[in-house]
């Protein structure tokens, strides 16, 4: 499994920098976004360093599906009861800041900081 020693999410996955990880297994971690845009805002992140969606392949099909299946499960565990947004910022014009693939899950009572 590839990692990038300079990548912040690889460092979080390895426990090299602190984060509020509340779910983890061999393939995936989930932790709260440091700058939440909604009352509940967490990230589902593969342990493997995959920079963008276009850097994934058929080998990652199950992993990508797993991340989406985890979204409602973890949202419910985090107390989200009335729906949520699932967002992947991908590439420069997609507004991606951290080039390690991740799924944002945002929920909780509105209004939120963003639309």
**Interface ranges with ligand 5GP (CB under 6 A):** 8, 19, 31-35, 89, 95-98
Please list the alpha-helical segments (H only) found in 1-115: 8-13, 61-77
Q: Does 100 bind Zn ion (CB under 5 A)?
A: yes
Residue 10: alpha-carbon gap to chain centroid: 12
Active-site residue, from 41, 60, 100, 102: 102
Q: Vertex 8, ends 100 and 35: CA angle to 5°?
A: 90
Q: How far apart are CA 47 and CA 29, in angstroms?
A: 7
7 binds, among ligand 5GP, Zn ion, none (CB under 5 to 8 A by kind): Zn ion
Select from 9, 31, 42, 84 the one that contacts Zn ion (CB under 5 A). 9
Respond yes or no: is residue 3 known to be catalytic: no
Active site residues: 102
């Amino acid at each position: 499994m590839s990692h990038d020693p300079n990548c912040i999410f690889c460092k979080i996955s390895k426990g090299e920098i602190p984060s509020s990880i509340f779910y983890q297994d061999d393939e995936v971690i989930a932790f709260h976004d440091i700058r939440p845009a909604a009352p509940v805002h967490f990230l589902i992140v593969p342990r493997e360093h995959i920079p963008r969606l276009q850097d994934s392949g058929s080998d990652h099909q199950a992993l990508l599906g797993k991340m989406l299946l985890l979204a409602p499960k973890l949202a419910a565990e985090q107390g989200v009861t009335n729906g949520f947004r699932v967002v992947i910022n991908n590439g420069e014009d997609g507004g991606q800041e951290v080039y390690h693939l991740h799924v944002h899950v945002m929920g909780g009572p509105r209004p939120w900081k963003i639309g």
